[in-house]
């Protein structure tokens, strides 16, 4: 896991000071080593250089005499093969292709064997060398052969080009900025600001999306004008001679599973297949040459990972120097956020060393600006602070790699909103017996029949009511948005119409949308930034395993929610591995925090900063009345909007926007 940066100038005038500043801003992603590659003399001369943290003996980058047209930078967090053989930028033996790489290709051993059979020789035990050889062998289609999480850029000296790619679901980040004279890329947005073509001007459409939808949309555009995100499953190629930039989607997920009636024998078969795939996914992600542990919330997803990992260790499987699977939990005394009972049960079941942290509101106040800065974008809810504190705790206990359960909700149906689409799906396919079974089974669901009735009625109304009535109803339900400035709302309300609630024809279609385009991408950013803030590589077995995700998305919906149980497929697959008390949990918390109580306690101190930073986007009347007073009548939706405004304000202050 690492940080990568690069800067190209069409005029051949890359400033060493700029690339050093970019590299410094992502040092937390890789404090173990620092390397550079400069291409100069009209793209004819390639020079390896070192920085202050470099572990190899090379000329210092400050000594670069030529005016460079391109400089690549790399910050290494050593995880596999801790020797200097893993130094980057790394070259092919012919020294005409170079890579800066961030991530883990978990199938690198199989790829290495395949490439060795094709004649390639390897001098390290890193996956970086395998990925570079894959590019050398397959060209830009190398990404079709990789499984895991990655973000990398290859400089190809043969055709004077840059090729960059990002993994299928966006676990690892990449941002870039381009104009007619300059191109820059980096692992984090902060590395691009005030360098090359980018400044700090706000992109107001993105601000609208953040405040209204709670996150950026699937657009490439970022919160800063001129900063673009290379979207998950996408790649680019920049011809450094013609300055032509091509961006394309390299991965398209397969069609989702069709509807079918439930069959018990089929359910058992699918559960067994899921168990095999889950086990292999966790096994691959436990390979490391550094200390490794797991985040544990007490929910099914994190418990699955903790229990499978412990099962492998008890079976005497070898994972580098790993002998103990250590677990890390954010705990609270408040009942609405407390999962200590469940997490403790799992820790006892696997016999692991269990470490807890108890975040407090005053601590959040102290850490607020650092949290906002490390996230690059507003973090939207205090639950991200729970994750931030878990990562800090793990680092304090010497961890370099953590496994986490992100992706399980999007892959296996962990949210209440899935029920309304699922029930409507059964009705539209005239599966009346299935509908009756699931209606009766709602006693096992995280929602009751009253809530399900309202949700189902909403689905029916949206499909049979005239579009004008549907939009009017939506507007009545968005009263919480009334705090936004009228002009701001009017300028962007077309985005609300365009990007708001979407109709899904099936549960699997909804899962695919959240897994590949919406919800999971936001969670991956939180995961990446919180872990890398403390120089930890976070691995997500439920998110970035291609075989597991494609198989699960192909499974018909009746096996994912069954008899009212959410995550029915995962529960069945983990029977006998995860304690039954966990598998039969009906509630869902998921990094919960006592958000309302914290808001009540912190608002007097937060109010001046928040109202100062958000006033151009908020109605003056709401400011005069007090934002919290204006929003408190909306219940939970008001609490959520308040935290969006708080995080946005903290972000503006942290980034001086």
Tell me what pLDDT residue 317 has: 67
**Mean pLDDT of the region 341-368:** 94
Q: State the CB neighbour count (10 A cutoff) for residue 221.
A: 16
Q: Please tell me the distance from the alpha carbon of residue 421 to that of residue 452, in angstroms, as a whole number.
A: 10
Of 80-94, 489-503, 514-528, 593-607, the range with the lowest mean pLDDT is: 489-503
pLDDT tier, 219 (very low <50, low <70, confident <90, very high otherwise) = low
- Mean pLDDT over 210-232 rounds to 84
pLDDT at position 617 is: 94
The whole-angstrom separation of Cα 188 and Cα 519 is 19
The mean of the pLDDT values for the chain is 90
Positions of E strands within 51-88: 68-76
Mind listing the pLDDT tens digit for each residue in 599-630?
Answer: 999 999 999 999 999 999 999 988 888 888 88
> In three state form, how does the secondary structure of 20-44 look?
HHHHHHCHHHCCCEEEEEEEECCCC
The answer to whether residue 477 scores a pLDDT higher than 50 is no
Q: What is the pLDDT of residues 547-565, one digit of tens each?
A: 999 999 999 999 999 999 9
Query: What is the rounded average pLDDT of the residues 574-595?
Result: 85
> Which CA distances in Å does 349 have to 157, 322, 354, 357, 368?
54, 19, 11, 20, 35
How does residue 501 score in pLDDT terms, banded at 50, 70 and 90?
low
What per-residue confidence (pLDDT) applies to 467?
A: 53
Q: What is the pLDDT confidence band of residue 469, given thresholds at 50, 70 and 90?
A: very low
468, pLDDT greater than 60: no
Region 65-82: mean pLDDT is 94
Domain spans of the chain? 2-199+225-249, 267-412+514-583
**Whole-number pLDDT of residue 210:** 87
pLDDT at 526 over 80: yes
Give residue-wise pLDDT tens across range 415-426.
888 998 899 888
Q: According to CATH, what is the number of the domain 267-412+514-583?
A: 3.40.50.620
CATH for the 2-199+225-249 domain, from 3.60.20.10, 2.60.120.700, 3.40.630.40, 3.40.120.10: 3.60.20.10
pLDDT (average), residues 220-246: 93
Q: How far is CA 24 from CA 13, 18, 103, 192, 475, in A?
A: 20, 10, 19, 11, 46
Q: Of the candidates 638, 355, 347, 306, which has an alpha carbon nearest to the alpha carbon of residue 479?
A: 638
Same fold, 2-199+225-249 and 267-412+514-583: no
pLDDT band, very low/low/confident/very high, at 590 (cuts 50, 70, 90): low
Distance of CA 614 to the CA centre of its chain: 26
Statement: residue 480 has pLDDT above 70: yes
Write the DSSP string, 329-370. EE--SSTTT--HHHHHHHHHHHT--EEEE---HHHHHHHHHH
Q: What is the pLDDT of residue 108?
A: 96
Listed range (252-266, 398-412, 501-515) with the worst mean pLDDT: 501-515
Q: Where are the beta strands (DSSP E) in 131-251?
A: 148-156, 161-166, 175-178, 182-186, 228-229, 234-239, 245-249
Confidence of residue 380 (pLDDT cuts 50, 70, 90): confident
> Of 244 and 460, which is predicted with more confidence?
244
Q: What was the pLDDT predicted at 319?
A: 66
pLDDT tens readout for residues 324-335: 789 999 999 887
Q: What is the pLDDT of residues 155-173, one digit of tens each?
A: 999 999 999 999 999 999 9
């Amino acid at each position: 896991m690492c940080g990568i940066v690069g800067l190209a100038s069409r005029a051949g005038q890359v400033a060493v000071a700029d690339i050093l500043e970019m590299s410094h801003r992502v040092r937390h992603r890789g404090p173990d080593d620092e390397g550079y590659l400069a291409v100069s003399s009209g793209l004819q001369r390639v020079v390896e250089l070192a920085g202050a943290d470099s572990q190899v003996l090379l000329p210092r980058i400050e000594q670069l005499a030529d005016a460079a047209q391109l400089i690549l930078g790399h910050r290494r967090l050593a995880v596999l093969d801790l020797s200097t053989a893993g130094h980057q930028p790394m070259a092919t033996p012919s020294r005409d292709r170079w890579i800066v790489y961030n991530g883990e290709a978990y199938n690198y051993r199989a790829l290495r064997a395949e490439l060795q059979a094709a004649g390639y020789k390897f001098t390290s035990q890193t996956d970086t060398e395998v990925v570079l050889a894959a590019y050398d062998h397959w060209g830009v289609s190398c990404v079709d052969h990789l499984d895991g999480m990655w973000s990398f850029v290859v400089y190809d000296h043969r055709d004077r080009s840059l090729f960059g790619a990002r993994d299928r679901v966006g676990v690892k980040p990449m941002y870039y900025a381009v104009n007619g004279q300059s191109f820059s890329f980096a692992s984090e947005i902060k590395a691009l600001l005030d360098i090359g073509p980018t400044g700090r001007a706000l992109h107001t459409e993105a601000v609208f999306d953040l405040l209204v939808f709670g996150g950026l949309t699937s657009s490439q555009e970022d919160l800063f004008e001129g900063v673009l995100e290379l979207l998950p499953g996408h790649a680019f190629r920049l011809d450094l001679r013609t300055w032509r930039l091509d961006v394309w989607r390299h991965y398209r997920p397969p069609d989702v599973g069709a509807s079918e009636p439930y069959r018990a024998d089929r359910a058992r078969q699918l559960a067994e297949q899921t168990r095999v795939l889950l086990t292999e996914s966790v096994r691959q992600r436990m390979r490391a040459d550094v200390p490794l542990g797991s985040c544990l919330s007490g929910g099914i997803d994190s418990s699955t990972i903790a229990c499978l990992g412990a099962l492998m260790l008890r079976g005497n499987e070898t994972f580098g120097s790993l002998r103990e699977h250590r677990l890390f939990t954010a705990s609270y005394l408040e009942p609405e956020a407390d999962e200590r009972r469940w997490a403790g049960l799992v820790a006892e079941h696997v016999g692991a060393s269990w470490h807890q942290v108890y975040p407090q509101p005053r601590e959040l106040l102290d850490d607020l600006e650092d949290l906002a800065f490390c996230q690059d974008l507003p973090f939207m809810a205090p639950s991200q602070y729970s994750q931030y504190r878990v990562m800090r705790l793990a680092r304090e206990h010497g961890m370099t790699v953590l496994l986490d359960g992100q992706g399980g909700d999007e892959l296996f149906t962990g949210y209440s909103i899935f029920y309304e689409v699922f029930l409507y799906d059964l009705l539209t396919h005239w599966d009346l017996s299935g509908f009756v079974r699931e209606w009766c089974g709602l006693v096992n669901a995280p929602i009751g029949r009253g809530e399900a009735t309202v949700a189902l009625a909403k689905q029916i109304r949206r499909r049979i009511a005239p579009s004008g009535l549907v939009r009017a109803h939506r507007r009545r339900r968005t009263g919480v948005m009334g705090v936004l400035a009228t002009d701001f709302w009017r300028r962007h309300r077309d985005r609300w119409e365009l990007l708001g609630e979407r109709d899904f024809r099936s549960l699997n279609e909804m899962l695919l949308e959240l897994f590949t385009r919406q919800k999971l991408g936001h969670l991956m950013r939180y995961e990446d930034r919180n872990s890398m803030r403390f120089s930890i590589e976070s691995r997500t077995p439920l998110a970035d395993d291609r075989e597991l995700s494609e198989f699960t998305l192909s499974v018909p919906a009746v096996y994912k929610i069954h008899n009212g149980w959410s995550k029915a497929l995962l529960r069945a697959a983990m029977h006998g591995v995860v304690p039954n008390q966990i598998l039969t949990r009906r509630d869902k918390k998921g990094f919960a925090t006592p958000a309302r109580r914290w808001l009540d306690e912190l608002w007097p101190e937060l109010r001046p900063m928040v109202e100062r930073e958000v006033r151009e986007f908020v109605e003056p009347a709401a400011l005069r009345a007090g934002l919290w007073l204006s929003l408190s009548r909306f219940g939970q939706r008001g609490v959520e909007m308040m935290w969006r405004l708080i995080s946005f304000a903290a972000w503006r202050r942290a980034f001086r926007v």
